[in-house]
Every structure is written in structure tokens, then in C-alpha cells.
A and B are shown apart, each in its own frame.
Chain A
Amino acid sequence: MNFQLSEEQQMLADSAKRFVRDNHDVEKHRQNKKLMPLDEATWNQFAELGWLAVPFDEEHGGLGMGPLETMVLLQELGEGLIMAPYIATVVLGGGFLRHASDAQQAETIPSLLEGGLQLAFAAEEYERVFTLENTAMKGDVQGGDVVLNGTKSCVLNGDHADQLIVLARTAGEPGDKDGLSLFLVDANAEGVERTPHRTVDGRQGAEIRFRNVKVSDAARIGELNKGYDIARSVLLEGLLALSAECVGSLAVLLNDTVEYSKTRKQFGLPIGKFQVLQFRMADMFIAMEQTQSLLMAATMKLVEGHDDAARAVHAMKAQLGRTGRKIGQEAIQIHGGMGMTDELNVGHFVKRLSAVDGLFGNADVHLMEMAKSA
């Protein structure tokens, strides 16, 4: 057992730390009262720093790294609340491309590594509690083609994306793991209608309607009706990445709250001297450390292929939902009125945590997934 960062991982963490120090992004959230175009300058910087290459094989021009390095990177970026669509394009999108055909890879990966390609995973649907097998959107198999009809909701990075990875039901009923298929679809294809919207955390998503969108065999990722396993393995990595980013955010919330309690005086004392607040901040600290532990457990288990890896990832996402809620709420309460303003960092981190809990299944969903995988 060794919980120390390797030299390479340490370098990645250091470069991310420097980036956050120079580009702390909360100001962007504050200005972000409307839909923002993609911040291409930041994205190009990500490309130059080599971060877009992290999870890709060396034969594709990547760095041949994996979820551990993604964790190290995103935990640092989470401290700065960096909004770049890294998880949508690199972790989820890149994850699917690793399972794509040679032709699909050749068409996408070089461009992605240069910073010229944005991706989005179209998975969630309105009025359906998210699990992969609950997917209802239809793909009708017509000869060699599949015709997509239906609506995907809350697609992260959906409006900036050049290509969409669409999860559709080509056979069976919601609840069946069989019958799911994945397609790489041009976001500007005929019949794809995108309605962009802001998300509560200052980022952007889109509602995407598919009207008779015909996709050929060549557009499929993996086998027809056998998309579940690929989707699940990529999703697990995505959940870890989201969690890593948020663990970074939890650390900032705790730190800001403790520092505020040392300077804010009421009744002649810094409020941090009141035992009732001390105990609550001690509990915030404990919750944060427990979440960090689960993050490391889940990431290492997944990388090393342990039998209970998926179970640990579900535990992680559930814990993140609960801890994020607790630490976020306490951070606001202890900051008092100031915690309710747009001016301080606190609210922006809380909004990010609130959004992430809802994405790809909230704490309840993942506790049930965990229980089922026992």
C-alpha cells in the first residue's frame, strides 16, 4: 500500500495548483448571468498543459494515464471552481472514444487533443430517475441504420459539443440492461435540435431533441443492444471525476468557513470561539475527510480492477451528495447573511455541489445501486 503521489502525479497536481492560483474562476461565475460561449482561451491552455491527453493511450498521442491522474487533476481544479467542460469532453467523451472504432478514433481523438473538439454524453431524460437501464429514448433499427427519436435532458456541454454520445434503447424496455446502444452523432446533424440553458452552477447544458435522426452502423460505439457495459464503465469514471472535483470544492468551503469564524465577531468574541459552531465545523471536517477517503478507495479499486470497485464508486457518489449538502448548508449558515450573497465564494461552491448531486443519479439512487451490487 502506498498513498503517495508519483513524481508524474505530483507534477500534474502542481501545474493544476498554479493554474487555479492564476485563473481562479469564481469571478466568471459571478458575471455569468447568461449563457456563455465556450472559453476557448482556457481550453487551449488545457491542451497546451497536456491535460486533454491525460486518459488517452500513448499510441493515440495521449499520456497513458487513468482515473488516478484524473482525480489528482480535478481535485485541484475543483478548488478553483474551474468551469471548463473537462469531464464532459475528456473524461466521459474521451472514455467513450476509447471504446470507439478505429475510424471513429482517427476522426476525433487528434482533434480533441488539440483542443478542437467538444463532446457531450446525452444520457439523462426528463421525468426518468437516472440509471443507465432506465433509458427510454428509442432508436429504431431499420436495416443497417438506427433512427433516433426522443429527447435528452440536462446534457452537460450539450450546446458546445461538436459530437454527441447518445445512449438509446434499441430493444427491450426501461429496466433492461440489454437493448441499450451507444452512438456517436454529429451535433449538427439533421433532426438534432438543441436548446441550450444555464445550469445552477453557472455552467451550461442543453435539451436535445432527436427527430428521425438516422445514424449508420459506423456511428455506433460497441455492439448493437450491448451498450450497457461500455456506458457503465465510462460512467463510473465520470462519477469519480465529478466526485474528485467536488472534494476539492468541499475543502475550500470548510477552509473559508473556518477562516470566517475566526474573524467575524459577535457578542464580543470571534464566532469560532462558540462551542456550538466549533462542534459543527469539526463535523464538517470529519465529513470532508471521510469523503476524501472514499474517493481514494473508489479510484484505486477501479484502477486496480477490484471486484467491489463499482460498489465503492456508488458509495462515493452517494457520500458526495450527502456531504456536499451538509458542508454546503453549514458553510452558508455559519457565514450568516454573507453566505447568501453572490459576492462570496461560498454560494458558488454550494451551487456546484447541488448541481452535481442531481447529475447521473443522486445520493438515493447510488445508495440503492450500492445495495443492489452487494
Chain B
Amino acid sequence: MDLRVPEQEKAFRDEVRTFLEESLTPEIREAGKMVTSVFAPVKEAMAWQRILNDKGWAAPHWPKEFGGTGWSVTQRAIFAEELVRAETPPLVPMGLHMCGPCLIGCGTEEQQKEYLPKILNGEHFWCQGYSEPGSGSDLASLKTFAEKDGDDYIINGTKIWTTYAHYANKMFALVRTNKDGKPQQGITFLLLDMDLPGITIEPIVGLDEVTEQCQVFFDNVRVPQKNRVGAENDGWTVAKYLLTFERGGQEYAPGLNVQLEKIRLMAEKQQTVHGSLKNDPVWQHKFASVEADVLALEFTEMRIKSALSAGKDPGALSSMTKILGTELLQKVTELRIETLGAQAAIWQPQALVPGDEQPIIGPEYALTAMPHYLNSRACSIYGGSNEVQRGIIAKAVLGL
């Protein structure tokens, strides 16, 4: 057991840094600094994806034959860390991280050839049609129905919390094709165009006044059966394949460390009657408490990488990271607004829109604090709420 970094990894890190230094445009950097969500401003995120794709780095986690990089687990982690450190806008994940892997694992060769290159170059902008108004935590109870008609399905129903549906030209969706038997067994995975007749998109304004989510309505929408991924009624298997593909999942610690460093700098600027807030024992105690949790998570994530590199199943460890990562992110955003006091209450969401020229009121570093705090409350709700995640640990890991 050791923490030594091999020379070739250092060289790889340098290569990534140099590339980022040379290829990030001022607009993309600016957008990255203003991110208050897991979803970045679309225009800049897509511009950044095209730059990465030209280099062949848009989807390092994909197998090489489909356009991946063929990097090791460690190289991929280094790459992800460097993106976070440079504060690049996160890439829109629905195509690259959700639909793409499902197609790689379960799509036909024809589907892979048709869709994967367009996911990489951004020509197709995907959204995910999973949740419904009555089916959130209990996703398998979904009711949007696809009825067979000749070579097509006719879809009726509604999807909600469909991130960026108002920007998307494609959707991958779970629909019900069989109402009998276990709910998981009557679900089919379909690909569809967002401009089909019968689709209506209603944007939902979030409490941060940003429109990320939408509700999508289907009124007799006709989708060819060849757009099905996997077998009919076997869509649950396709959706679950994603979990296998991204085993180990997203890494949270690098981003959290970047945030903590920023908070430390902010605290240094705040004056108490005894000097800088950074030297205030109460603040230090709070900061250190979060820092300790982040350090622990960093090494939990390293244990996962180590297991994966050795070809082992990290199992229980990866079930924990969604809970830990999201709740620590929430803690970090909370620490930030607490560090800023009343300055965090100044509300100027227009200043977060890339290209806005109006002068900022108050310290610029306070600008994203409150929107990020508010937006991050969603992290413990989406992608399987943290209650559902704890249920999985209790059942699958602890055998309860």
C-alpha cells in the first residue's frame, strides 16, 4: 500500500493541463466559473464538448472502438480531476453519460453507428424521459404507455423533471408496454425525436429562477419500433446496464476540494473584530469538520479506483458515493453562504448568464453562493433520491 504517483501519470497530468491551458476559450472559462448546478450553460458546454471531441476526449469512459480514449482508470480520474480544477463547464451528461452507454451495451450495431458519433459531436442533444408525476422514487410504477400499431408504437402520457428537454432534439425514454405482471417487466426503452407531432414541452422554473427542468406531454406520438433499444418489455435491463457501465460512478471529491479552497479564500477576506474570519476558531472548526469528510470521501473514491484497476468489484463502496458526494456538496454550499453572511442574500441571477455586462453588486465571489446552495438541494432528490440509495445499501449490502 502506498500513495506514490508513477512518473507516467505525472506526465499524463501535464499533458492534460497543457491541453486545457491552450484550448479553453475565455467564454468557456467564464461559463465554468458561473456554474451553480450540475448542468452548465448549454451554449458554452456544447462548445467545450466540440473542442474535446476534436481532440478525441469527449467520452474517455467509452470503449475505444466507439470513440473512447482507451485510458486506464487512473488516467480517466486524472482527466476528470483536471477538468474540475480548471473549472471547465461540466458537459451535458444525458448523451455522453446516459444514453451513449446504454446504446454501447444494449443497442444494435445500426443504432450504435447512427447515434454514437452524433452524441460525441453534439449534433444530437439528448434528454432523459424517466420520471413521471406519479413515479419518482418508485420509477418502476411509470405509466406512459406505448401501444403497438403496425411498425410503430403510439405513445401517450407525460414525463417530468426532464432536464433540458427545451434544448433537446432527442429523448431516450422508459415507457410501459405491458400493464400485467411485475412493474419492472413491462417497461421498454425507446429513442425518439423531440419534434414529433403530439409532443408538448412545458419548462419548469426552479426556485433559483432558472429553467433546467421540463414536463413533456405525449399525445398519440408515433415512434417506429426500430427505435427500441433491447427487447420489448426489457427496458429495465437496458436502464440498469448504465449502473454496470459507470460502476464507481462520478467522483465528487475533486470538485469539493476546489470549492473548499474557494471558501477558504473568501473567509480570508471577511473581517471579524479579531481579524480574518479564516482565523476564527468557530469558523475553523466548521471548515475542518467538512474538510475531514471530504478527505475521507477522496480516499473512498480512490479505493474504488484501486479496486476497478485491479479488476475487482468495489461493491458497497460505490453505493455510498452518491449519498456522500451529494450531501457533502450541500454542506459545502451551506458553509459558503454561512461564510458570506448577508452578502449571500444579494440576488442577481442575471449576472450568472454568460455575456451579461451589468456591473455586479457586492463581491464577485459571492455571486454564485446562494443560487448554488439552492440548486444543490436537488442533488439528494434526483438520480434516485438519497432515501432510495440508503434503501439499496440496507438491502443489497447489509442484507436487511
Q: CB of B161 within 8 A of chain A?
A: yes
Q: CB of A245 within 8 A of chain B?
A: no
Specify which of A129, A136, A199, A364 lies most central, judged by the most chain B CB atoms within 10 Å of its CB: A129
Name the CB-closest residue of B to A365.
B341
Which residues of A lie under 8 Å from residue B387 when comparing CB positions? 276-277
Query: Among residues 272 to 290 in chain A, which have CB atoms less than 8 Å away from a CB atom of chain B?
Result: 276-277
Which of A207, A266, A348 has a CB less than 8 Å from the CB of B362?
A207
Which residues of B lie under 8 Å from residue A351 when comparing CB positions? 207, 374
Name the CB-closest residue of A to B338.
A362
Which of A129, A266, A367 has a CB less than 8 Å from the CB of B136?
A266
A209 nearest CB across to chain B (Å): 11
Which of A350, A355, A364 has a CB less than 8 Å from the CB of B282?
A364
Q: CB of A108 within 8 A of chain B?
A: no
> Do the beta carbons of B286 and A354 come within 8 Å of each other?
no
A277 nearest CB across to chain B (Å): 8
> Do the beta carbons of B345 and A199 come within 8 Å of each other?
yes
Interface-lining segment among A180-188, A227-235, A331-339: A331-339
Q: CB of A93 within 8 A of chain B?
A: no
Write out, one digit per residue, whether chain B residues 57-75 have a CB within 8 A of any chain A CB (1) or not (0).
Answer: 0000000000000000000
Write out, one digit per residue, whether chain B residues 179-214 have a CB within 8 A of any chain A CB (1) or not (0).
Answer: 000000000000000000000000011110100010
Cα A133 to Cα B272 in complex, Å, equals 10
- 22 contacting pairs across A/B (C-beta < 8 A): A127-B343, A129-B341, A130-B342, A154-B343, A154-B345, A197-B348, A197-B362, A198-B348, A200-B345, A207-B362, A267-B138, A329-B330, A333-B377, A337-B131, A337-B381, A341-B205, A341-B206, A341-B213, A342-B205, A354-B344, A358-B345, A365-B341
Given A197-B347, A364-B282, CB of A329 within 8 Å of CB of B377? yes
State which size class the interface on A falls in. 35 or more
Q: CB of B121 within 8 A of chain A?
A: no
Q: CB of B270 within 8 A of chain A?
A: yes
Write out, one digit per residue, whether chain A residues 350-363 have a CB within 8 A of any chain B CB (1) or not (0).
Answer: 11001101111111
Cα A276 to Cα B160 in complex, Å, equals 25
Cα A346 to Cα B138 in complex, Å, equals 23
Name the CB-closest residue of B to A130.
B341
Chain A contacts to B: CB under 8 angstroms = 33, 124, 126-131, 133-134, 136, 153-154, 174-175, 195, 197-201, 205, 207, 265-267, 276-277, 325, 329, 332-333, 336-337, 339-343, 346-348, 350-351, 354-355, 357-365, 367-368
Q: Is the interface of A mostly helix, strand, loop or mixed?
A: mixed
Given A174-B273, A267-B138, CB of A127 within 8 Å of CB of B363? yes
Query: Among residues 129 to 167 in chain B, which have CB atoms less than 8 Å away from a CB atom of chain A?
Result: 131, 134-138, 141, 160-161
> Do the beta carbons of A337 and B373 come within 8 Å of each other?
no
> Do the beta carbons of A341 and B334 come within 8 Å of each other?
no
> Do the beta carbons of B271 and A333 come within 8 Å of each other?
no
B257 nearest CB across to chain A (Å): 23
Q: CB of B283 within 8 A of chain A?
A: yes
> Do the beta carbons of A325 and B340 come within 8 Å of each other?
no
> Do the beta carbons of A325 and B382 come within 8 Å of each other?
no
> Do the beta carbons of B347 and A126 come within 8 Å of each other?
no
Chain B contacts to A: CB under 8 angstroms = 131, 134-138, 141, 160-161, 204-207, 209, 213, 269-274, 277, 280, 282-283, 286, 330, 334, 337-338, 340-348, 361-363, 370, 373-374, 377-378, 380-382, 385-387
Which residues of B lie under 8 Å from residue A339 when comparing CB positions? 377, 381
> Do the beta carbons of A340 and B207 come within 8 Å of each other?
yes
Cα A345 to Cα B347 in complex, Å, equals 19
> Do the beta carbons of A134 and B271 come within 8 Å of each other?
yes
Which residues of B lie under 8 Å from residue A276 when comparing CB positions? 387
Which of B138, B204, B277, B337 has a CB less than 8 Å from the CB of A358?
B337
B311 nearest CB across to chain A (Å): 36
> Do the beta carbons of A333 and B273 come within 8 Å of each other?
no
Given A336-B137, A337-B382, CB of A342 within 8 Å of CB of B342? no
Cα A319 to Cα B373 in complex, Å, equals 20
> Do the beta carbons of B207 and A134 come within 8 Å of each other?
no
Cα A303 to Cα B329 in complex, Å, equals 42
Which of B134, B273, B361, B385 has a CB less than 8 Å from the CB of A175?
B273
Cα A351 to Cα B373 in complex, Å, equals 10
Name the CB-closest residue of A to B344.
A358
Which residues of A lie under 8 Å from residue B137 when comparing CB positions? 266-267, 336
Cα A266 to Cα B370 in complex, Å, equals 31
Cα A134 to Cα B276 in complex, Å, equals 12
> Do the beta carbons of B273 and A124 come within 8 Å of each other?
no
Name the CB-closest residue of A to B269.
A127
> Do the beta carbons of A340 and B338 come within 8 Å of each other?
no
Which residues of A lie under 8 Å from residue B341 when comparing CB positions? 124, 129-130, 358, 361-362, 365
> Do the beta carbons of B347 and A347 come within 8 Å of each other?
no
> Do the beta carbons of B361 and A134 come within 8 Å of each other?
no
Which of B136, B204, B337, B346 has a CB less than 8 Å from the CB of A199?
B346
Which residues of B lie under 8 Å from residue A201 when comparing CB positions? 345
> Do the beta carbons of B207 and A355 come within 8 Å of each other?
no
> Do the beta carbons of B207 and A124 come within 8 Å of each other?
no
> Do the beta carbons of B381 and A336 come within 8 Å of each other?
yes
Which residues of B lie under 8 Å from residue A174 when comparing CB positions? 271, 273
Name the CB-closest residue of B to A204.
B347
Cα A336 to Cα B138 in complex, Å, equals 12
Which residues of A lie under 8 Å from residue B362 when comparing CB positions? 126, 153-154, 197, 207
> Do the beta carbons of B342 and A124 come within 8 Å of each other?
yes
Name the CB-closest residue of A to B361.
A197
> Do the beta carbons of B277 and A129 come within 8 Å of each other?
yes
Given A337-B213, A358-B337, CB of A129 within 8 Å of CB of B272? yes
> Do the beta carbons of A200 and B347 come within 8 Å of each other?
yes
Given A127-B269, A199-B345, CB of A341 within 8 Å of CB of B337? no
> Do the beta carbons of A337 and B274 come within 8 Å of each other?
no
Which of A127, A265, A267, A367 has a CB less than 8 Å from the CB of B271?
A127
> Do the beta carbons of B138 and A33 come within 8 Å of each other?
no
